[in-house]
Amino acid sequence: MRGSGIAEAVAEEAPPYRTEGPKLLDRIRAAIRTRHLSARTEEAYVAVERRVSASTQNQALSALLFLHRRVLGHDLPWLDRLVRAKRPVHVPTVLSRSEVAAILSELTGSRWLMVALLYGAGLRLLECLCLRVKDVDLERNDITVRAGKGGRDRHTVLPLAVRGRLGEHLARMRRQHDADLARGAGWVELPHALPRKYPNAGRAWAWQWIFPATRQYRDRDSGQWRRHHFHESALQRVVREAVIRARNAKPVGCHTFRHSFATHLLEQGYDIRTVQELLGHRDVRTTMIYTHVLNRGGLGVTSPVDVVAGLTPMAYAASRLGRDGSQPNAPRGPQRPDADVRRGETLPGVDRPEGVAVRRREPQRERE
């Protein structure tokens, strides 16, 4: 009896294990959202994995610094002395124009549109999927990318080859949205505090996703029936299957089309500052990497075995001369990335807009 009384007294005096107030992860999420950091940053900061890359290790260190300084309010100078993992430098994979055409020929419908925008406008994966109706100007051939990487907005080009099909796609999505509204649905997620400021904006056509999901879901907080945008994993799977059908052995992903967009613009004669603005890079040094993957295999060096075989660049160009003395086709001046400038033909499956003709270069005649 005496022993049990002592145990009860100790139990009464012991502090509770659970303290009042929000949990640590909830405090981290609140601090991240107060600073308007991206959802991907929030997901990465609260995740833990093993055997990760150098960039993930640096991300974990940034998460620890954020936790101690912004959430817990601790000043730990020794964290600044930690050595960050060195990230290896990788050269991006770039597709040729014929390879892009082969992959696009394996796609149809909205899948073709999404991949064509990845390449023709240089969009990132989520930038393409999160496009809203109000962000595309069919008259001015302009796309406004909202809250891109780093929370920055930018403008990029809407390819003429996409404009016709995109207009037809928007007409179909408008009919689908009208049907959703008739059933009491038709809502869409809005950014930040916009639902409180404009309560009915979530049902407006201008705020709808250009590429919505096929299924609807019910939001737990508001009870609204909404459509999410087309999921990124679904488009990644579509690209992977199209690459396999096209028999392409390169490691091609959705971001590869953005690399190809930048490289092809530089090949066509556009200055690097223009490419930087279209890509939304903060530093031009990020764009400079594409100057190393231009169509100059091996940094433009002539291999010694080609010299022995008589296949120098001049000899190779001469071997491509036609019987009529025509020169091999080569791009002259800035060209749009949505056309095959080497063949003078549009990409497979592209609807040529009215009034836009495809010009074929006539063979140059020798001077008499």
Active site residues: 124, 149, 255, 258, 281, 290
How far is 96 from 342, CA to CA, in rounded Å?
11
Q: What are phi and psi of 246, to 5 degrees?
A: -80, 0
Residue type (1 letter), 65? L
Residue type (1 letter), 168? E
Angle at 286 between CA 280 and CA 290, to 5 degrees: 100
Contact 190, 179 (CB under 8 A): no
How far is 360 from 123, CA to CA, in rounded Å?
29
**By C-alpha distance, which of 208, 204, 206 is closest to 227?**
208
Q: How many CB atoms lie within 10 A of CB 131?
A: 22
Contact 256, 95 (CB under 8 A): yes
Please enumerate in sequence order all residues whose Cβ is within 8 A of that of 75, keeping only pairs 6 or more positions apart, or say none: 68, 69
Residue 179, exposed/middle/buried by CB under 10 A (0-12, 13-18, 19+)? exposed
DSSP per-residue string spanning 24-55: HHHHHHHHHHHTT--HHHHHHHT---SS--HH
Q: How many CB atoms lie within 10 A of CB 127?
A: 23
